[in-house]
Amino acid sequence: MNMMMFIGLFIGLGVGYLILGLIFSRGIKNLQDYFLAGRKLGVCRLTATLIGTQIGGGLVLGTSAESYKYGIYGILYSLGICLGFLLLGCGFAYKLRAFEVATVAEIFEVFYGSKILKKVASLISAISLCGILAAQVLALKSLFCGLGLNSYLIIITWAFLIIYTMIGGLKAVIASDFFQIFVILSVFTGVFLYSFNLNNFSILDFKNIVLDENLFNFSDLKFNAIFATLIVPILFALIEQDLAQKFFAAKTKLVAAISAFMALIVVLLFSFIPVYFGTMAKYSGLNVNSDSSPLVVFISNNFNSFILALVLCAIGAAITSTSTSLLTAISSNLSQDFDFNILKNKLLQSKVITFFVGVIALILGLTSKNIIETLIISYDFMLSALFIPLFFVFFKKSFTKESAILSIIFGSFSFMILKIYPLNFPTEIITLSISLVGYILGSFFKKIK
């Protein structure tokens, strides 16, 4: 491959994103503009940024890596994301917009009447999202290592990402998402259809390949891993700040619900593409080491340099779109839920926080190993601590602070204990059950006072 072609295209994209950041920074006057785009997102813009949030390094590179090992079961993570969108479209997105808050953690102050709980929830959310952001760095590392490129390029690329997000906030993220989604969908769809026809496959042929027991190690699949990979993204979609932030920014409640359904359709159709490339890498007998991506290896062995460069840029766009969304979400948590008085200018302070969050995620990502595992652990932490008290907000009308406190304590400690002493049973079921017990006990203690 002509590396200069790829590097040139990649740098060009980075400069383009930076220009977008500078353009959209002109209209930012306050934190609502910076983090919620003035609460003026329509269906098209909201749908695009929801798709960009979920089609990232995990769905593209992580799914293809899992499909290389487990065939059709590699789609579990993508399917979990799609089912999460389904629930959001069926009413949860509508209710999120109706809350009229700026962060998920703010729900604890509005409904449970506790500023301290808001800060605790915000910190848990930020830590969890930082782990997911680190997984995007790992995906970028997998991309570059598969090409034998210098690791310094990861740092340079990440620097572009941090700077344009820091400058333009959510408005710049949404503007870039439109372009990135166009690149991702058009490039991957085109290459997928060409490859599928080139191999003279029918749907039945491909079905037989992805289910071939002689080709894939289905026996290595564990129920715990299957459950976590499928169920955790579904539940996490209902409470994660980076998705909720987009619904908070929607023009109306109906816009939020419609956009969730539209994003579901696009992500579901796209999710089969990384499964195809991961499966074909294994079917073709390609040897892929742990630091490389089966998708990249397959493309590099079957297409010319120009197509490979386009695919790599599309992967870079996928990683970037998710990363910028996560970066603004974490910064939103820390800037709006905590009373930092480091700088008098709150907007400038938020930009500084965005910068440091990006740097921390880079360090964490460069030391991580497995994309999907990093994602699931990050999801699990927030789910264990916050899912139960947040879930009840969607349905109940009266709340007690004690319920939320015990639910968070029980869920957090059970998560940590099970990471040290794991059981041969889905961790998520145990931690959520214990968190639910804490919630019920809190309600009981409140009544007997």
| Cα 374 → chain centroid | 11
The residue-averaged pLDDT of 273-285 equals: 90
340 vs 338, residue with greater confidence: 338
3-383: CATH, from 1.25.40.10, 2.30.30.60, 1.20.1730.10, 1.20.140.10: 1.20.1730.10
> What's the confidence (pLDDT) of residue 81?
94
Give domain limits for the chain.
Answer: 3-383
Does the pLDDT at position 372 exceed 80?
no
For 338, phi then psi, to 5°, come to -120, 150
CA atoms of 201 and 276, how far apart (whole Å): 11
Q: Give residue 351's pLDDT band: very low, low, confident or very high (50, 70, 90).
A: confident
Average pLDDT value for the chain: 85
Q: 2 pLDDT exceeds 70?
A: no
User: Tokens 């408005």 identify what position?
Assistant: 171
Q: Do residues 71 and 297 touch, judged by C-beta distance below 8 A?
A: no
Q: What would the pLDDT profile of 392-403 be if each residue is shown by its tens digit?
A: 999 888 889 999
Return the pLDDT at 320.
82
Per-residue model confidence (pLDDT) at position 261? 95
Q: In degrees, to the nearest 5, what angle opens at C-alpha 38 toward C-alphas 33 and 41?
A: 130
| More reliable by pLDDT, 20 or 282 | 282
* Confidence bin at 25 (pLDDT 50/70/90): low
Judge whether residue 291 has pLDDT over 70: no
Residue 383's pLDDT band (cuts 50, 70, 90)? very high
* Contact (CB, 8 A) for 115 and 366: no
**Between 449 and 291, the higher pLDDT residue:** 291
Give the helix/strand (H/E) hosting 362.
helix 346-366
Confidence of residue 87 (pLDDT cuts 50, 70, 90): very high
Cα separation, 287 vs 75, in Å, equals: 21
* pTM tops 0.75: yes
The beta strand positions in 250-340, using DSSP E, are none
How sure is the predictor about 447, in pLDDT bands with cuts at 50, 70 and 90? low
What is the SS3 assignment for 250? strand
Query: Coil, strand or helix: which one is 23?
Result: helix
For the beta carbon of residue 430, count every other beta carbon within 10 angstroms. 16
173 three-class SS: helix
DSSP string, 35-81: HHGGG-B-HHHHHHHHHHHHSSHIIIIIHHHHHHHHGGGGGHHHHHH
The pLDDT of residue 425 is above 70 = yes
Residue 221 CB-density burial (10 A; 0-12 exposed, 13-18 middle, 19+ buried)? middle
131 close to 364: Cβ distance less than 8 angstroms: yes
Q: Would you state the pLDDT for residue 95?
A: 93
Lowest mean pLDDT among 68-77, 96-105, 359-368: 359-368
Residue predicted with more confidence, 58 or 231: 231
Which pLDDT belongs to residue 197? 81
Does pLDDT of 332 surpass 60?
yes
Average pLDDT (38-51) is 89
Best CA proximity match to 239, nearest among 110, 351, 378, 96: 96
Taking CA atoms, 333 is separated from 10, 36, 114, 137, 439, in Å, by 30, 12, 16, 20, 24
Per residue in 114-151, pLDDT (tens digit) is 999 999 999 999 999 898 888 888 878 877 776 666 66
